[in-house]
Amino acid sequence: MKPLYEHQLLCFSCTACGDCCITGNDYYVYLTGKEADRIRTYLKLSKAWFKRRYLVRLDNGDLVAASTVDGRCVFLDSNSRCKVYSVRPLQCRTYPFWPELACSSKSWQTETRRCEGINRGEAVPVERIRRSVKACLAQEENY
């Protein structure tokens, strides 16, 4: 069966509400080592301090962004803006065009509970969605 985005136009316009950066501690913001290092360089932090304050290594070895007790990404500022926006990880750059969301009508609709930008604004060109999905799938190998 074709993925949703291949047979239906998907509309999206980010309102910058910041809700997708509040995981509620029920999912993770994954980072590759390169992404983590790019963010560390951008923030001008030492490796040791950056690791202690901003990163978590999961039991399975995956690297994720630390979060507050209420599940806010450590890079989200008090005005709900990303402090590392220009170097944010692929997971954030491609949202909501992740394979598990953009491929299924049910998942896409369910995600509207988290993201008010879904189904808002103009249809996103399918080429952009394809690129996002492809990049996510390729990145999964590098976590």
Site for ligand SF4, rule CB under 6 A = 14-21, 29, 65, 73, 75-76, 82, 84, 88, 92, 95, 115-117
The CB-of-1 to ligand SF4 minimum distance in angstroms stands at: 26
Residue 7 or residue 16: which is nearer to ligand SF4 going by CB? 16
Q: Which is nearer to ligand SF4, 4 or 73 (CB)?
A: 73
Torsion of CA 64, 70, 74, 76, to 10 degrees: 120
In the block, residue with structure tokens 């290594």: 57
- Give whole-number Cα distances, 106 to 30, 60, 115, 131, 137, in Å: 24, 29, 14, 21, 20
Nearer to ligand SF4, 104 or 119 (CB): 119
